[in-house]
Structure 1
C-alpha cells in the first residue's frame, strides 16, 4: 500500500500538472530542433537563432575558453570585430552587457556549436524556470499555466538568459522562508543582472532574513573572486570604462527596434522619439511612486507571495533598462493572481483577473506594440500593480478579520 507521505507527494505533483504540461510543450519544441540536428534534419549552421542574444553568451564563453576573455572589456569596436569574424553579418548588432562575474556561469556553452548550444542552454534553463515556478504556490491552475506561454515564446525567440534570471529570482523569492541559504545562493548568482535585483536587499533586510542576505553576499563575492582569477582587476576596470558607458550611450541614443524591447516608462518615451533627458524626467515620478508603493506593501502585506509580486512589479517600473524577455518571474506571479478570489467584490475581482492576465502578455507584445507606436507596457504594469496591491490588501484583511459571534 502507498504510504500517506507518498500519497501526499502524488497529490502535490498532481496540482502542478498544467504547469508541467506547458513547460513540457515548450521543451518539446526545443528538443525536436535539437534532435533534428542530431539526425541531420536541421542544418546546425542554420540561422534559426542568428542575431539572437545567445550569440553573446556563446561568444563570451568561446573567448573565455580560448584565453581571450579580456577582449570582452576592451570596447565595442573590438567586441564587434569578434562578432563579425565568427557570425558574419547575419548576427546583426550585438554587444557584451554582462558583468565579468557572469563568465563562470556561461563558460560551458561554447563547447557545442552555436545552434546546439543555444538549444541546450534554453532547454536547461527552461527546466530550471519550470521548477522555480512550481515552488511559488501549492498548485498552478491550468489557466494560469497557459498564461506563461507569452513569456516562454518571447524568450525562445530572443534566445536569451530570461529563463535563467527568472528562475534565479523565483528561487530567491520562493525559498527565502523555507530554505534561506539556497535562496541566497540564487540571489547571489542573479547579480549577473543587477538591475533585476534592485529591491531584494530591501526585502530581505525588512524581513530580517539575514541568512539569505549573507548567503547572497557570500556567493556574489565568490563569483567576483572567480572573475578576478579569470580577467583580473583589468576586466572590471574595462567594464567600468567601456561596457557600462556604452550601455548608457545605447539607452540615450539608440533608435530602431531596441527601445521597443524596454517595458519601462523610459523605454516607451524613447520609442516615441522623446529625447533621453525628457524620457528620464517622465520616468522619474513613476519610479518614485513604485518605490513608495513597494515600501507600503512591506508594511501592509504579510503574505510572502504578495510581497514577492509587489517587488517584481516595482522592479520593472523602477529600472529604466530591462528588456521584455526579463519579465519571466513577474509573468509567473501575475499568472497566479488570475485565480478567482471569492473574498473580493465582483468588480475588483474582475479587474484583478484582467490586469494580471494583461501583465503576462507584456513580454511578448512589448515589441509589437512599440513598433506600432503604442508602447503601452508601462501603462499595463502601472495599472496591474495598483490593482494587485489593492486586492492583495483586501484579501489579507478579510482573511484576518474575526468571524462575527452569535449571541
Structure 2
C-alpha cells in the first residue's frame, strides 16, 4: 500500500511537471518564429551562440559589443520586426564549442544543439545512477521542467550538467579527467569558480591545477583562432557591462534570475541589505556544498546540494541554469533519495515559468531555489531518515 501511494505521488509530480512545461512553451507562441522565438520553436538564445562565431570568423567581432548593430544584424538575418534584446556575454573560448554548430543553417543547428544537450543530460543521469536506468527515468530527466527551460532558451545546461557530474564524481580519483571537465565549466566562469571553491575547501584541489591548465589552453587556442581582440573586448567591455546589469539592478536584463539577491532587490529591499542577504545565502551554500563533498557526492542528494549550492552562491543565475542540476534534482524530486522537501518540488515544477512570474511581479523562484538548497542541505547533513522506496519504485513510476 505504501509503495502504491509513493508511485501515485511520483506520477502526480511527473504529470504536474509535464503540464507546467507544456504550458510554459505554449505561452511563448512557438508557432510564431518571428516573435519571442526566433527562427525555430525553441532555442531563443541559441541565436547568440550561432551568430557570434560567424561574425568573429567573418572579421566582424567588434559587432558583439556594438549592441545596436548587433540587434540590426539579428533582425536582418531572421526577418524580425523589432529588436529581440539579445547580446553575447560568454568568454571567447566558449566559441570553440559554438563554432561547429554555427557552420550549419540555423534550424538544423538548433535542433542538433538541443539533441546534443539532451544526450548529455541522459549520460549524466546514467553516470549518477552508475548503470543503465529505465528509459522512463531518462525521459523524466530530459523532459523535466528545468530541461524544458533550457530547451526553450537554447542554453547548454546539458553539457554543463555532464561536466559537473564527472568533475565532482571523479575529482578524488581521476583529477586529470575532472580538471578537463572544470575547463569545460570555465565557459560559464562564475559557476566554475563556485564549484572550484567547493572542491578546494573539501580538500579536492588537485583537479583544479589541471582545470586551470586546460582552461589556459582553451583560451590560447581561442585567441589564435579568433584573435586576441575578442578577449580584450570581453574583459574591458562585456564583463563590466554584464556586471552592471546586476549591481545596478537592471531587472529587465536579468528578469529570469532565481537568486536571493534578485528576489530581494525586485521586492524593494535596499541594495546593501540585499547584498547582505545574498552573502548569508552564499555562505550557507558553500558550507552545505563542502559538507556534501566531504560526505561523498556520489548520490543524487549529495550532488544536488553541491550543484544548487554553486548556483545560488551567485547573485545572478537564470532559471535555465537549473538544467545543470536537472539529473540530480529530478531524481530527488521523484524519490531516488528519501525526503524531497516540498520547496524543492515547488522549485522543480515552477522553473520554466520564471519569466511569466515576473510579469505578475512574483520573484518567488528567488526564494524557492535558495530554499530548496537549504532544505536539502539540512536534510542531507542531518540525522538519516528512514529508507524510502528506492530504484525499483522509481522505475515503476516513471
Bin the TM-score by the shorter chain.
Answer: 0.7 to 0.9
Deviations 1:156-207 (A, max 9, x none): 2112222232232223223435544332212101101112223322333345
Structure 2 spans left out of the alignment, 5+ residues: 1-10, 12-17, 23-32, 388-398
Name the CA distance, whole Å, in 2 between partners of 1:341 and 1:166: 18
- Alignment of 1:126 onto 2:118: yes
| Matched-pair contact (CA < 8 Å) for 1:49–1:159 | no
Name the CA distance, whole Å, in 1 between partners of 2:50 and 2:220: 22
In structure 2, the partner of 1:363 is 351
Name the CA distance, whole Å, in 2 between partners of 1:341 and 1:236: 43
| Matched-pair contact (CA < 8 Å) for 1:169–1:186 | yes
TM-score (norm 1): 0.74
Q: Which of 270, 286, 304 does residue 281 from structure 2 map onto?
A: 286
Name the CA distance, whole Å, in 2 between partners of 1:337 and 1:325: 19
| Matched-pair contact (CA < 8 Å) for 1:165–1:190 | yes
In structure 1, the partner of 2:379 is 391
In structure 2, the partner of 1:55 is 47
Name the CA distance, whole Å, in 2 between partners of 1:255 and 1:387: 27
- Alignment of 1:200 onto 2:195: yes
Tell which has more relative contact order, 1 or 2 (C-alpha 8 A, sep 6+).
2
Deviations 1:330-349 (A, max 9, x none): 2321222246589x7xxxx3
Q: Which of 51, 59, 75 does residue 84 from structure 1 map onto?
A: 75
1:208-357 to 2 correspondences below 5 Å: 208-251=203-246, 252-256=248-252, 258-272=253-267, 279-298=274-293, 301-305=295-299, 306-338=301-333, 340=335, 349=339, 352-357=340-345
Residue 296 and residue 135 in structure 1: after superposition, are their counterparts in 2 closer, same or farther (change >3 A)? closer
1:82 Cα shift?
Answer: 3.1
1:360 Cα shift?
Answer: 2.2
- Alignment of 1:68 onto 2:60: yes
Instruction: Name the larger-Rg structure.
Output: 1
1:313 Cα shift?
Answer: 1.9
- Secondary structure at the counterpart of residue 94 of structure 1: coil
- Secondary structure at the counterpart of residue 199 of structure 1: helix
Output the aligned Cα RMSD: 3.5
- Alignment of 1:379 onto 2:367: yes
| Matched-pair contact (CA < 8 Å) for 1:261–1:324 | yes
In structure 2, the partner of 1:21 is none
Structure 1 spans left out of the alignment, 5+ residues: 1-17, 19-24, 30-41, 400-407
Residue 341 and residue 261 in structure 1: after superposition, are their counterparts in 2 closer, same or farther (change >3 A)? closer
Name the CA distance, whole Å, in 1 between partners of 2:317 and 2:168: 19
1:176-187 to 2 correspondences below 5 Å: 176-177=171-172, 179-187=174-182
- Alignment of 1:96 onto 2:88: yes
In structure 2, the partner of 1:39 is none
Deviations 1:99-119 (A, max 9, x none): 111121111122222222111
| Matched-pair contact (CA < 8 Å) for 1:150–1:363 | yes
TM-score (norm 2): 0.76
1:243 Cα shift?
Answer: 0.8
- Alignment of 1:106 onto 2:101: no
- Secondary structure at the counterpart of residue 263 of structure 1: coil
Residue 270 and residue 114 in structure 1: after superposition, are their counterparts in 2 closer, same or farther (change >3 A)? farther
